[in-house]
Amino acid sequence: MLAMVRARRAWVYVLSLAALVVPAGGIAYLGAVSYGNERGAVSAQNERLRQAALAVATRTARAVEDALDQIERAVAQGGRPPAPLARYWFWIDAAQQLRVPRPAPAGGDLGGGLERGGGCAGRLEDCVQELSTRQARLARLHAAARAEAAGSWLEARRQYTGLTGFADTGPAALLGLARVLIRLGDGRAPSVLAEVSERGRRLGDRSFDGVPARLAAATLEAEAAGPGAPGALLDVAGDVLAGKYAVAPVIRLGVLRYLASRLPGELAPAQAERRARLDDQIAELRGEARAAAGLADDLPEIARTATPAWRGRTAAREPARTLIYRRRGDGGVIGFAVDAPMLEAAAQADGAAGLDVASHARPLVLPSGTSPGPALRLIQQVPLGAALPHLSVALVNPASDPDPLDEVIRERSRRHVIYTSALAIALGLGLLAMIRGAARARELAQLKSDFVSTVSHELKTPLTSIRMFAEMLEQGVARGDPEKAARYHGVIVKESQRLGLLIANLLDYAQIEKGTRRYTPTREAIGPVARHAVATFETLLDPAGEGRNPLAVAVSGEAMRAEVEVDRDVVVGAVLNLLANAAKYGGPGQPIEVAVDADAAAAWIGVRDHGPGIPAGEQARIFREFYRAPDAYRSGVEGTGLGLALVKRHIEALGGTVEVASTVGDGATFTIRLPRAAVPEAL
């Protein structure tokens, strides 16, 4: 027994030492590798961010390739490329002429003004005088135009009227006079318009300030038709859009905008639809005019540097704009103009791959060597590619959001804190285990001392009684008194049984501790086993003794039939222990109740006493080896503290359980619960 106690104490010391050494070693290891791991994590995160930025750059290059391919198909099929990236596209044909956006059409006298008039074929003095006269008439024509612009309609009419008869100022003066008469509502306006139309036909394709005379005449005629006939203005606009008049894109746009401004607000459905198409054409022409003008300075360089592989360069007039282009198989060039937001939108068009490196991360296209503003955090920046050396792509997120690099460090720190905290808790638990082990060792030492003292006393008491009554019989004290002799013999037998039970308990516990206890299960009905245990206990009681505990046994019919697979002697011994405890702690004369019952799953034997009861805090401890509750010590009831421990060990070894239910002042009930044996199958 003492060897088992010492072995258990040794294991407690070993486990307590391990609980200290393992966490301490873990903390030291974490501290040693923390620095290296953190550097590795930072490097890995930087590489992850770089790969994410490269993925965005690759997506952007793929979007550029797709846009150029769509432009190639649009040129071949005569349509428009659908890709948003190719919205502002251009096409230079094999003759190095800009085809898209449409430039100023060829042909026509777009530069010659009607003001220049004819030449001079006379003497030099006559030519000088004629030139001077012409200059004076031109000055008067400009004065009339200023009066018209200022709303001085009568003055403008007077000036224009005096200039209509001359060849050099006549067409312009007639146009101005027609406009003024229309404004004044003068009845002579139709005749003036007729003369304008006649002169327009005679002048052919000659123009005035870039506007063909025929177009000016047609415009005035449509305007003279009045607000009630908007179809005339729409017809002129349709002719302009159809290319009937050879005008530059900028002039065409100005004429169309003027015609649109003269249309009334309320139109018939068909005319409203034509007006909507006119507005769309105006918007398109405005874009084409601007695009053509913007490309003018870049066309020679684009034609010179274009190759089958696409490339990009900064636009000459707009540094924020990039021209991307490549040479076609027929020698022409296709391309498009983009800005940074368009490239950024293309980078995100195929999904969010690469943008999950940080919260609210997004791509930003920047000129190479520049950084985002202070409101944005630069996560990673890489070149956009060899074809666009002047641009780079940067992954950014708001400066108010967490830095992904800091987040990695914080995550590592959190992980280290968790590990260290867990090891520190383990270390604390180890210290607690060591303290509890020391306390347990001290308790075991005390229990050992108490056990030795108790066992010595428990062994000595029956031996003393046996020896005393045997000597009295030997000396003849009961000679001639058969009743006294029988009582002495009864005491000797009772104390011998008590001594045998004590020795049996000690031997049982030793075998259980060493693992050598063997059980021989047999199929037994629980009711007869319980009755046998009660009958055995009654034989141990002094028939004539005072304070005998009355026994009440209740065995149900189900219990008489319920069979269990148990070692009969072990169960009988367990019930005897419970009955002995009930007699000791219940008090002299207090009844002991035994209830035996069963259900479909288990059978049980309950032993109830009417003693002081067991406090709730002690009910789990009373099954520990050598442990006796403080109330048991104070009551003076003798015991070794092994009875309940043996009952628990034996019953659990047989697959059952031992339960206690007690209320202080109302006794205690101990219940042995065993599983029912399976019903054998019928043959």
In the chain, the N- to C-terminal Cα span, in Å, equals 50
Please tell me the predicted confidence (pLDDT) of residue 607.
94
User: Which pLDDT band holds residue 518 (cuts at 50, 70, 90)?
Assistant: confident
pLDDT tens-place string over residues 607-644: 999 888 888 888 788 887 777 766 666 665 666 677 78
Please tell me the predicted confidence (pLDDT) of residue 122.
44
| Number of C-beta neighbours around residue 577 at 10 A | 23
Long-range contacts for 525-528 (Cβ within 8 Å, ≥24 apart)? 525/559, 525/560, 525/561, 525/562, 525/563, 525/564, 526/559, 526/562, 526/563, 526/564, 526/596, 526/598, 526/603, 526/604, 526/605, 526/674, 527/555, 527/556, 527/559, 527/560, 527/561, 527/562, 527/596, 528/560
Give 444 or 97, the one with higher predicted confidence.
97
- CB-neighbour burial class of residue 141 (10 A; exposed 0-12, middle 13-18, buried 19+): buried
Give 105's DSSP letter.
Answer: P
Most confident stretch, 165-179, 283-297, 552-566, 640-654: 552-566
| Number of C-beta neighbours around residue 650 at 10 A | 24
Inform me whether the pLDDT recorded for 665 exceeds 60.
yes
Please tell me the predicted confidence (pLDDT) of residue 194.
63
Inform me whether the pLDDT recorded for 116 exceeds 50.
no
- Across the beta sheet with 376-383, the strand order is 362-367, 391-398, 376-383
User: Which pLDDT band holds residue 326 (cuts at 50, 70, 90)?
Assistant: very high
Stretch (H or E) spanning 448: helix 404-474
User: Which pLDDT band holds residue 119 (cuts at 50, 70, 90)?
Assistant: very low
CA distance 389 to 368: 7
Please tell me the predicted confidence (pLDDT) of residue 124.
42
Q: What is the second-level CATH architecture of the domain 516-675?
A: 2-Layer Sandwich (3.30)
CATH class of domain segment(s) 114-295: mainly alpha
For 318-352, what is the HEC assignment?
CCCEEEEEEECCCCCEEEEEEEHHHHHHHHHCCCC
Cβ contacts of residue 635 below 8 Å, gap of 6+?
Answer: 585, 612
Place of tokens 């990695």: 408
Please tell me the predicted confidence (pLDDT) of residue 460.
61
Give 159 or 658, the one with higher predicted confidence.
658
Residue ranges with strand state E in 340-490: 362-367, 376-383, 391-398
Please tell me the predicted confidence (pLDDT) of residue 325.
95
Task: Write down the pTM of the prediction.
Answer: 0.42
User: Which pLDDT band holds residue 121 (cuts at 50, 70, 90)?
Assistant: very low
pLDDT tens-place string over residues 568-589: 888 888 898 888 888 888 877 8
Inform me whether the pLDDT recorded for 598 exceeds 60.
yes
For residues 380-398, average pLDDT? 89
For residues 216-226, average pLDDT? 68
Please tell me the predicted confidence (pLDDT) of residue 87.
82
Q: What is the largest CA-CA distance in the chain?
A: 195
Inform me whether the pLDDT recorded for 672 exceeds 90.
yes
Please tell me the predicted confidence (pLDDT) of residue 397.
86
Mean pLDDT of the chain: 76
Give 536 or 433, the one with higher predicted confidence.
536
pLDDT tens-place string over residues 327-354: 999 999 999 998 888 888 887 765 555 5
Give 323 or 507, the one with higher predicted confidence.
323
Inform me whether the pLDDT recorded for 548 exceeds 70.
yes
Inform me whether the pLDDT recorded for 112 exceeds 60.
no
Which residue ranges make up each domain of the chain? 1-94+304-448, 114-295, 516-675
Most confident stretch, 368-372, 398-402, 480-484: 368-372
Please tell me the predicted confidence (pLDDT) of residue 109.
36
SS3 107: coil
Give 439 or 556, the one with higher predicted confidence.
556
